[in-house]
Chain A
Amino acid sequence: MDRALPQPTPETQHFWDGCAAQELRLQRCGECQDSYFPPRPFCPKCGSRQVEIYRASGKATLYSYVINHRPRPDMGTEPHSIAVVELAEGPRMMTNIVGCPQTPEALVLDMPLEVTFESFGAITLPFFKPAEA
């Protein structure tokens, strides 16, 4: 059983192209300067269509999470985190925290994180790992 992979749409293609290029891409409103996620061709705050795509810093903090203990053959055999991170630019996104034990002791709210990428065939997913000091 394979991991559930996204099927990009015209409105989100730039995000997935960015991941393939090892870049986390966000969008920002040209009028109100709001950064937002998930991708869409207009600003969710003010409705302007004048939006730009930019490369985000990849820095984030751990906002909230669970550690799933139910069987998920597509996610491996061990308990795994499902997390929401808060990006340095403001928006939050769902991800998995990788590169550390999947335990409450290792996963501390507000800990600094940085983006990392892993490819699954044609799709590259963004994950987050503890930031290097």
Chain B
Amino acid sequence: MTPGSIAVVGAAETTRLGKIPDMSVIGLHADAALNAMADAGLKASDIDGVATAGASPVEIAHYLGITPTWADGTAVGGCSFMLHVRHAAAAIAEGLCNTVLITHGESGRSRVGAGGFGRSPSSLMGQFEMPYGVTSPPTMFTIPVLRYLKARGYTVEDLATVSVIQREWAAKNPRASFKDPISVADVLNSPMIAWPFRMLMCCLVTDGGGALILTRAERARDFPQRPVYILGAGESVETPMVSQMEDFTSSKAFRVSGKKAFAEAGIGHADVDHLMIYDAFAHLPLYGLEDLGFCEPGEAAAFIRDRNTAPGGKLPLNTNGGGLSYMHSGMYGMYALQESVRQMRGIAPAQVPGAKISVCHGVGGMFAASGTVIFTNEAP
């Protein structure tokens, strides 16, 4: 893909977010897809490419009445949608299709029409991790963190500070699940989930969805919304077992994906006006700032504590409130992408004035996978 040659021309979340017990998973996909098509002024018959995770692209295409010439069911966890954006851009550039719809819908809280998290007891995770009580993200994603804190000299207060500052962003967002201010003491006094993680260091569990529509940049001016161009993207995967991460203090998938995206976009860190780092738990923004190269190892906690990522700071981070305060259906990557698109369109509730470049970085599984998309609102 030539940087800037593919654009997002439609973007929307589900009409509601939070608790949606009257809609199933497929219904959430469809609600988001219809909203995105309305946003772009398109009908299902105008779409010829479909990508999704959590459901099959076959289900989504059939349900919406789309006849695709390209389909992508890459499912590597919550960053799957970053990978879909990258794959879709390549597919459009190659002429495999013209207009791609990427959908997400998840009944994370209400579990209506939702599948299970089950893994086979003969899988590597089933044999070598699950017997020890490892089954859900709060006891998996958190496993490397005590080693990370020790290696970097960070503290549980540093983890808590991430949650506190993201709540400041959430307070500016009417659609955020949690908006009331919190202090470091509030975080450290919230119920213990899995030492060293307290409840307010863990993401929400909500229902919702989102969808994006991509096409060639030269067509983008024909659509009603301000086009948001894709400057670069990256992806990688490391291991399905968090215990087998090469380095507990750094995600290889983050490093590979981020480096690829920055190289393709041809930008430096100083060019970035807005940043999203998928925050399933409070340690993710710390790893992300280091592994993407915004901070040297060991400097990320002070960078956040010194309010560089807070409202008014030089690198606004997770401006929707993040998975910690905005919403988290299970595969949050789509909501990070939606916030980047809003910021580039200039319509975010906590808009970063004059922002021209947004980096959106996702994680899949427990440091298992990663995807990075770099957007701009400046025409190529």
Contacts and interface: CB of A to CB of B under 8 A. Distances in A.
Interface of A: 3-9, 12, 37-38, 63-70, 72, 74-75, 79-80, 82-84, 92-96, 104, 109, 123, 125
A82 B134 contact: yes
Contacts of A123: 131
Contacts of A95: 132
A70 B143 contact: no
Interface stretch (B173-181, B191-199, B299-307): B191-199
Nearest to A104: B195
Contacts of B124: 38
B135 A4 contact: yes
B244 A80 contact: no
B47 interface: no
A66 B143 contact: yes
Interface residues of B, number: 36
Contacts of A104: 195-196
Contacts, number: 110
Contacts of B127: 6-9, 12, 38
A-B pairs, 8 with minimum CB distance: A6-B127, A64-B147, A67-B195, A66-B194, A7-B122, A7-B121, A94-B243, A4-B130
A84 B133 contact: no
A117 B265 CA distance: 52
B144 to A, nearest CB: 5
18 contacts: A3-B131, A38-B244, A64-B145, A64-B146, A66-B139, A66-B197, A68-B133, A69-B191, A69-B192, A69-B195, A70-B194, A84-B248, A94-B243, A95-B132, A96-B132, A96-B133, A104-B196, A109-B146
B133 A69 contact: no
B128 interface: yes
A65 B143 contact: yes
A16 to B, nearest CB: 8
Contacts of A125: 131-132
Given A64-B144, A65-B146, A94 B132 contact: yes
B131 A70 contact: no
B328 to A, nearest CB: 17
A82 B131 contact: no
Contacts of B134: 82, 94
B244 A72 contact: no
Contacts of A12: 127
A94 B194 contact: no
